Every structure is written in structure tokens, then in C-alpha cells.
């Protein structure tokens, strides 16, 4: 017997859903998280208040939140670029890694040059490495119609193996020959560290400022250029795009390379703003690329929204680090991130489809025919 409910695709999507869905997704995730906390014997209101205080209550906490949000802004933008075009790029993680590899090389190679030149070359190198790595998946998708989900997920693991090889399995340019016992990467000279930007008395990472610039540039591209319009057409009506003469294969490859370049930009920021070294294990443990998928989903692929959501998710991460201890649920932050992703995906389905109740059994019978 068929279900009395059926999904019907919406012919048009109300614009109000663009802000209703994210708000409802977060609210639903908080409710589900509260239920989990109650089962573990914790007070949900007290726990959430502690998270809010640790993330946004002081200048130091806001600075920590923005530091945690910086890589998420880049990986969120990376995911949003492809999702907006109907391409499911799960490879932001690996593309971020490759950007860090390229930026670490540039930081070491151009050491001693003028600081603006070093920063510029780190950014450029990180973007090129990220774009080239994502371009492989883009080429396979455009030329052979391979499943980009499987390919990009596999390439994440390959990028991790490559990182380990550079630091632990070879005498590469990135490995510090003076490290004994446990191999490490070569540290950048302190003169090559990226500077902090002072805004309203806060020390903001240069990478976060540049992420905002990238988000604004992407918003302009989506709303004011032919390329952005073609991306929307490819996503909403791929057959119409094909018949309109839009070069589908070239656009798919270009979008993937662009997303990889943005993720690689984030990898450059990781080296220049934070680690100052190619940290193979630290990068793989961070999970920035996968959290970026949550950011893009909750922002509904809006580049400006992605930066805002990255700050919220960065606040969760920062609070999780600050509140570590026996009286704070250790897995709460990861649980909330997972719940937010689940509710955001559910909200996206309800945005694209409406639930209809079948009128009567006769209709159900006709559906069988």
C-alpha cells in the first residue's frame, strides 16, 4: 500500500524560504541537541549559555571565534560555489590541503623577500595548487560524466596520503631535516607570518578579511555577470542551458577549478595566519572541508551568508575548545554540527518540494496504473 503522502516539486520557491529555512534548521538542531543533553543529565539552557559566553561575550572570545571561522569561511565558499551550480563537490578538504602545500612552498621559497610579495605569492600558489587539484575532478566530471561525489571524496584521502608522504615518508622540500624522532615541516620565518588587522579594537586575521573580499567578489559575479547567470541556468535547467549554447563542459570544469582555488586560498591562510608550517596531522584532524559543507548548506549557497554562518560555526568550535573539561559534554559541538547539517538538508528538501496528502484511495489506485 502506498503512503498517503507524496512529494511534489515546487514550480517556484518563495524568497522568504531563503531566511526561514536556515533559522528553522538552527532552531530544530538546538531542540534536538537539548533532547540529547537532557538524556545525558545536562541542563540545555545552562550549556547553551556557556557556549554563547565562550564564543561572543568578550573581545578575546570574539577574536578566537573569528580565528576559528576563517578556514570555515573559505571551505564554505568552496562548497557553495559548486553546490550553486548543481555540482556536489565534497573535495574541499583535499583542495584545502593542497593549497596549504602550495602556500608553504611559496613561503619557504620567497623567504627574505618583501613581506607583501611573500603573502601574495603564498596566496597565488595556494590558489593554483587548489585549482589544479579540483580541476582533475572537474575534468573527469565534464569529459567522462563521472560521479563527482565519489571522485572528490576519494581525492580527499589521496591528498591526506600526499601530506603524510611529504612530511613523514620522504626528504621533501617541506620537511625539516633538523627534526629528529618525530618529523615535522619547515617553519616559516617569523617575518613571513601574516599580519593581524585591527578592527574596532579587535585583532582580526588577515585571512578572514580576505575571505570577506572573496565573498563579495563571488556575490558580484553571481548577480552582475554573464558567467554567474550561466551558472544559475546550468543548476536550474541544465537542458535549457545546453540548448541555449552554454558550453556545459567548460563551465563545469571552470566552476570546479574556481572552488578549488578558493579552498586553496584557505589553505594559504592556514599556513600564513595560524600554523606557519605544513602540519600534515593537524590539517587532517581539523576537518575544515567537511564542516564547510555544513556552512554552505546552512547559508543556502549564498557567499555573503557563508561568511556569516562560518562565524556561527566558528563560535561553536571556539566554545568547544574553551569549555573542554569533565563538566562539558566533549562531543556536543560535533553533535550540534551534525544536527545542523541534517536539519539544513531536510530544510533544503522542503524548499524544493512540498508534501501533498493523497486525496483518497482511488487516487492511490490510479497511481499504481
pLDDT in tens, 163-173: 999 999 888 99
Say which residue, 346 or 18, is predicted with more confidence.
346
Residue 14 has pLDDT above 60, yes or no: yes
Give CA–CA dist 291/309, Å, rounded: 11
Give CA–CA dist 335/339, Å, rounded: 6
Spell out the domain ranges in the chain: 43-328
Give CA–CA dist 312/320, Å, rounded: 13
Residue 245: Cβ within 10 Å count = 7
- pTM (2 d.p.): 0.90
Instruction: Write out the H or E segment, with its range, that includes residue 202.
Output: strand 202-205
Question: CATH assignment of 43-328?
Answer: 1.10.3470
Across 212-216, 293-297, 365-369, least confident range:
365-369
Residue 256 has pLDDT above 90, yes or no: yes
Of 228, 257, 334, 356, the closest CA to residue 290 belongs to: 334
- From residue 112, how far is each of 59, 106, 108, 116, 302 by CA, in Å? 33, 11, 9, 11, 39
Residue 288 has pLDDT above 90, yes or no: yes
State residue 340's pLDDT score.
81
Average pLDDT value for the chain: 89
pLDDT tens sequence across 119-137: 999 999 999 999 999 999 9
| DSSP β-bridge partners for residue 8 | 354
Residue 130 C-alpha cell reads as 587548489
Say which residue, 8 or 207, is predicted with more confidence.
207
Share of the chain above pLDDT 70, in %: 93
Give CA–CA dist 134/258, Å, rounded: 8
Confidence of residue 367 (pLDDT cuts 50, 70, 90): very low
Instruction: Write out the H or E segment, with its range, that includes residue 75.
Output: helix 59-83
Confidence of residue 365 (pLDDT cuts 50, 70, 90): very low
Contacts of 228-237 with CB under 8 Å at 24 or more apart are 231/84, 231/85, 231/255, 232/84, 234/85, 234/86, 235/84, 235/85, 235/86
pLDDT tens sequence across 28-71: 888 998 998 888 888 899 888 988 998 998 899 999 999 999 99
Give CA–CA dist 321/333, Å, rounded: 9
Contact 83, 234 (CB under 8 A): no
pLDDT tens sequence across 201-210: 999 999 999 9
What does the H/E/C string look like for 109-152? HCCCCCHHHHHHHHHHHHHHHHHHHHHHHHHHHHHHCCCHHHHH
Residue 223 has pLDDT above 70, yes or no: yes
Give CA–CA dist 299/292, Å, rounded: 10
Share of the chain above pLDDT 90, in %: 63
State residue 368's pLDDT score.
45
Residue 236 has pLDDT above 90, yes or no: no
- From residue 164, how far is each of 266, 272, 356 by CA, in Å? 19, 20, 51
Amino acid at each position: 500500500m502506498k503512503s498517503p503522502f507524496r512529494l511534489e516539486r515546487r514550480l517556484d520557491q518563495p524568497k522568504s524560504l531563503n531566511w526561514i529555512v536556515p533559522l528553522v534548521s538552527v532552531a530544530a538542531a538546538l531542540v534536538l541537541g537539548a533532547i540529547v543533553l537532557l538524556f545525558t543529565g545536562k541542563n540545555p539552557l545552562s550549556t547553551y549559555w556557556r557556549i554563547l559566553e565562550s564564543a561572543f561575550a568578550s573581545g578575546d572570545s570574539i577574536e578566537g571565534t573569528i580565528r576559528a571561522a576563517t578556514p570555515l569561511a573559505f571551505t564554505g565558499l568552496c562548497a557553495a560555489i559548486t553546490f550553486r551550480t548543481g555540482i556536489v563537490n565534497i573535495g574541499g578538504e583535499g583542495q584545502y590541503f593542497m593549497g596549504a602545500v602550495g602556500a608553504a612552498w611559496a613561503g619557504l621559497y620567497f623567504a627574505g623577500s618583501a613581506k607583501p610579495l611573500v603573502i601574495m605569492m603564498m596566496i597565488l600558489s595556494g590558489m593554483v595548487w587548489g585549482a589544479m587539484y579540483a580541476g582533475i575532478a572537474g575534468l573527469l566530471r565534464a569529459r567522462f560524466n563521472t560521479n563527482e561525489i565519489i571522485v572528490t571524496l576519494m581525492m580527499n584521502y589521496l591528498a591526506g596520503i600526499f601530506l603524510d608522504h611529504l612530511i613523514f615518508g620522504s626528504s621533501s622540500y617541506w620537511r625539516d631535516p633538523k627534526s629528529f624522532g618525530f618529523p615535522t615541516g619547515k617553519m616559516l620565518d617569523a617575518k613571513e607570518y601574516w599580519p593581524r588587522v585591527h578592527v574596532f579594537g579587535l585583532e582580526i586575521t588577515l585571512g578572514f578579511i580576505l575571505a570577506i573580499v572573496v565573498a563579495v567578489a563571488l556575490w558580484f559575479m553571481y548577480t552582475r555577470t554573464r558567467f554567474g547567470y550561466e551558472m544559475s541556468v546550468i543548476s536550474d535547467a541544465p537542458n535549457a542551458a545546453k540548448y541555449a549554447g552554454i558550453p556545459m563542459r567548460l563551465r563545469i570544469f571552470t566552476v570546479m577549478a574556481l572552488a578549488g582555488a578558493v579552498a586553496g586560498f584557505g589553505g594559504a591562510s592556514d599556513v600564513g595566519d595560524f600554523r606557519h608550517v605544513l602540519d600534515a596531522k593537524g590539517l587532517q584532524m581539523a576537518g575544515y572541508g567537511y564542516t564547510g559543507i555544513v556552512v554552505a548548506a546552512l547559508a543556502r549557497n549564498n557567499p555573503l551568508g557563508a561568511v556569516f554562518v562560518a562565524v556561527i560555526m566558528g563560535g561553536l568550535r571556539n566554545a568547544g575548545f574553551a569549555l573542554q573539561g569533565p563538566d562539558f559534554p566533549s562531543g556536543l559541538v560535533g553533535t550540534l554540527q551534525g544536527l545542523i547539517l541534517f536539519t539544513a538538508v531536510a530544510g533544503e528538501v522542503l524548499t524544493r518540494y512540498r508534501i501533498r496528502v493523497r486525496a483518497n484511495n482511488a487516487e492511490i489506485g490510479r497511481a499504481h496504473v
